[in-house]
Amino acid sequence: MSVDLHPIRAFLHDTHAGLLAKAQVFTQGFLAKRKPADTDVEARAEARALLKLMGDAGLFEPIRARDYRGCCLVREELSFHSPLADAVFALQALGATPLLLGGDASQLAWADRAVAGAAMGGFAMTEPEAGSDAHAIACEARRDGEGYILNGTKTFISNGGLADFYVVFATLDRAKPKSITAFLVEAHAPGFEFVRPLVMSAPHPLGEIAFRDCRVAGSARIGKEGEGLKLALSTLDRLRATVGAAACGMAARALDEAIHHAQTRHQFGKPLADLQLIQDKIARMAIRLRASRLLVYEAAWEKDNGAERVTLESGMAKAFATENAQTIIDDAVQILGGRGVLKESTVDLLYRSIRALRIYEGTTEIQHLLIAAQLLRPRS
């Protein structure tokens, strides 16, 4: 099975069952029949195809509705069947959410296109020397008349070279960290350059992009000058729990694969499932998954119910769910033995896919620092 509503029902609204059913129709009707991409080139073509299919199916609607429990459900269902399909959803959310939070009418039109699957988004924040330390952003935006000229490089950008638009974070003054500003940059803008693809172990459209005297109009600025970092962190704060949901989907698939193998594979004259060491592993996997899902949906519930910030809750959800998904998937590989390390194996793809989730949108270590900062704040 994929998403089990029973353990998390207390965190959901009545409408979420219908949303999940819609996602399951899509995953069973389309994803179950599609061969996973095997190379970076295949992943880029498949991501484009999935974008339209998912848009036509209405799967991006929770992004526009700012329904973060809905986003979690869709990501968990997608990642159970296809880590690449989940990545497509994640990038549409990262590209559209800053526009939904701070965009004007023309920028909101881009968000609408993203939700419809008619435009692919990118979130251009990471740089060669600015990863976890977002204040170190060096990409510059220089005022030029009524517009701006951008110069700099962004790396590890999902959909790099593939997206139709990017939300780009640049500084107006390197000496002033509070000058970071967000811009909506179209892929065909003069001075935009796709530098090179970056190849991950699990096929994923990743790349490096650059801005060489890239001229954008003043209307490309999202919100006010100097509010870009706030917008970026607000976006990540909202979406971080959904990363945990994706990890849960991958972990659930690994658990299913492990259970099926344990029940059908015979060794020493009996099924692997009869061996107590295997039973212990599967029990621990199930416990880790259940606890992860509860943290994920509690964080999303808090945000959907009006919490101004969910830094503590979403940090806990992402850190716990991604770390435990890594353990669950590793245990699944161990249970499958030699079959688990074959490239054709589902758990091998999951093993290669899950690793990045412990890094992007804030590493586990950064989440721990954020969690501690929240817990150690002076009490009024």
Catalytic site positions: 361
- Rounded Cα–Cα distance for residues 220 and 258 (Å): 49
Q: How far apart are the first and last CA of the chain?
A: 47
Please identify which residue in the block is written with the tokens 């212990």.
280
The CA distance from 169 to 182, in Å, is 5
Find the angle CA(168)-CA(172)-CA(174) to the nearest 5 degrees.
Answer: 105
150 close to 191: Cβ distance less than 8 angstroms: yes
Structural tokens at position 319:
């850190």
What distance in Å separates the CA atoms of residue 105 and residue 109, rounded to the nearest whole number?
6
- Helix-, strand-, coil-residue percentages of the chain, each rounded to 5: 60, 15, 25
Q: Helices in 57-193 by DSSP H: which ranges?
A: 61-64, 68-81, 83-102, 105-116
**CA gap 229, 227 in Å, rounded:** 6
Q: Which two tokens stand for residue 299?
A: 């964080």
CB 203 within 8 A of CB 40: yes
Structure tokens at 68: 């973060």
Whether residue 161 contacts residue 170, with contact meaning beta carbons closer than 8 Å, is answered with no
Q: How many CB atoms lie within 10 A of CB 146?
A: 8
Residue with tokens 């498949």: 46
Burial of 380: CB neighbours in 10 Å, binned 0-12, 13-18, 19+? exposed
